[in-house]
Chain A
Amino acid sequence: MDRLKLWKDIQSGDVNALHDLHKRYFHPMCLFAFKSINDHQQVEHIVSDCFLKIWKNRKRIEIKSSLESYLYQILRNAIIDYHRAKHDNTISFDQIPDIPDEAEVNNEQRYAKLYTAISRLPEKRRQILELAIFESCTYQEIAEKLGITKNTVKTQMVRAYGFLKESLDPVDFFFFCFLKKI
């Protein structure tokens, strides 16, 4: 199991292994933190610190269940500390989400993967997709905003969706061939 190896490498002092862990979990962990913290600078800071904590204590940490649940445990504690330090009485501790189960982590990892895929879309296509989804614009509105035809929006959306599906599910080779065609 490569997660176990990753942890062994981290314990032996391999910074690259820590970097791998960071690449894999930074975005999913941010998504978890965003559930109860709106300040994005704080989210970035808190998540970053989790990795420093792990590194600092790597020799003393004994992973009982899984590396993942350990990461989220640290993160959740840090989030609680953050709210406590802020004396934020508007948030009660049961509003801080529980440590996610595997399905939820998978979901957050899926979002992270999707995020990377979106950033790889050609600039214009990404812009169209973001207007449609983040701003809930209609095809007509997007066409007007960007000075293109509604038909272009239509085809660009199809390509964006095709690319995203492919990047989430790269085993579908035939589909990939099909994508190249359009």
Chain B
Amino acid sequence: MIEHNKDRFWELATLKIHNEANADELSELSSYLSDEKYAKIYTEIAHLREDVKATQKLSLVSQQNSWTHITTHLQNKTIQLFRKVSGYAAVFVVALLLGGLAVQMWSQKSYEERFAEVKVPLGQMSEVTLCDGTHVWLNSGTTLKYSNAFGRNSRNVTLDGEAFFDVEKSDVPFRVKLKHSFVEVLGTQFNVISYKHDSNSEITLVEGSVNVNNLNGNNIAHLEPSQQLTIDDESLKAKLRTVDTGFYVSWTEGKIVFHDEKLSEICERLERWYNVDITLEDKEVEELNFSGTILKDKPFSQIITAFELLLPVEIEFRHVSGAKDKVTISKK
């Protein structure tokens, strides 16, 4: 008769659960299981394999990120509340006149400027509502920075990346600081692309009107709806043209809609969206025009298939571990 030993029991039990036990081991295990103590442990762990399997999907979500998302939105709420209160306070000051200066000095002294930063990882997008009601969609790899003073006397934000702004109308100008320029508006809808590593910035106006100034406040250009301004970040040389705004705005709805757009421009957007590197092999391919809609929640492979079906091109996809995947598009 084999002497029972707890370590041996555990070994046999896990072997059995993972179908690794041979006939001898199985019979040895059953001799353990006639003992109630061991039988009890066995029933408790027999399901563990399936239970662990059920947790697999949890590695795809992040409790940490979720909580950060929640607190960011809670904070927006508190700032908004504060702004309402400070608005009433201002009326009060004017009404009383007396002591107004003191209140102002006090509020300035006790106030320390801090910055909030919203970062969107590559291949993802996000949106925020600022406390003045302005809604901002942030595209892949974008950082938006704003101070806790936002909304009171100024509405300044700093952008690195691509964002679509739906600015709430107000007398306080809304300014977006880019690398070497400012976009200034009162209330309007526009898209800005200005990544730190790109050599130019691009502003597309949907409605309203915007002014683009250099950092000293001198006007570079004034935009009307459907106009797009491209600024060279070095020389600040600006180029104005009329575009189909849908192409630049549709990403906020999780799709890219393009109407007779050049493949080179489409690919530029796809690169950021899917966090891949796309090379167009020849000039002819760059100039190909294409109309269609790409949905963000579709895998990149589907887009490749569609391109190959509809355009005279060949596409090679190479997975690069630890870096961006490489896509080469060449003439068929």
Contacts and interface: CB of A to CB of B under 8 A. Distances in A.
Please determine whether chains A and B interact with each other in the same assembly.
yes
What secondary structure prevails in chain B residues at the interface with A? helix
A55 B54 contact: no
Interface string A45-62: 101100110011000000
A22 B297 contact: no
A133 B52 contact: yes
Given A39-B297, A138-B20, A178-B6, A157 B14 contact: yes
Contact of A48 (B6, B7, B59, B70): B70
Contact of B20 (A18, A114, A139, A161): A139
Interface in A26-48: 26-27, 30-31, 34, 39-41, 43-45, 47-48
Contacts of B73: 52
A71 interface: no
A44 B52 contact: no
A19 B66 CA distance: 11
A111 B48 CA distance: 10
A158 B14 contact: yes
A111 B54 contact: yes
Interface residues of B, number: 40
Given A30-B57, A52-B70, A114-B55, A154 B63 contact: no
Interface residues of A, number: 45
Contacts, number: 104
A103 interface: no
B3 interface: no
The interface residues of chain A, by DSSP majority, are classed as helix
Looking at B55, B66, B74, B77, which has the most chain A CB atoms within 10 Å of its CB? B55
Interface string B39-70: 00100110011011111111111110111011
Interface stretch (A73-81, A93-101, A162-170): A162-170
B274 interface: no
Interface in A139-182: 139, 154-155, 157-158, 161-162, 164-165, 169, 178, 182
B66 A34 contact: no
A161 B48 contact: yes
A63 interface: no
A41 B49 CA distance: 26
Contact of A157 (B18, B61, B74): B18
The 3 closest A-B CB pairs, nearest first, are A40-B60, A115-B55, A48-B66
21 contacts: A19-B67, A22-B63, A22-B66, A26-B67, A27-B63, A30-B58, A31-B57, A31-B58, A34-B57, A45-B69, A51-B70, A55-B74, A134-B56, A138-B18, A138-B20, A154-B14, A155-B11, A161-B45, A165-B45, A169-B44, A182-B7
Interface of B: 6-7, 10-11, 13-15, 17-20, 41, 44-45, 48-49, 51-63, 65-67, 69-71, 73-74, 77, 124, 297
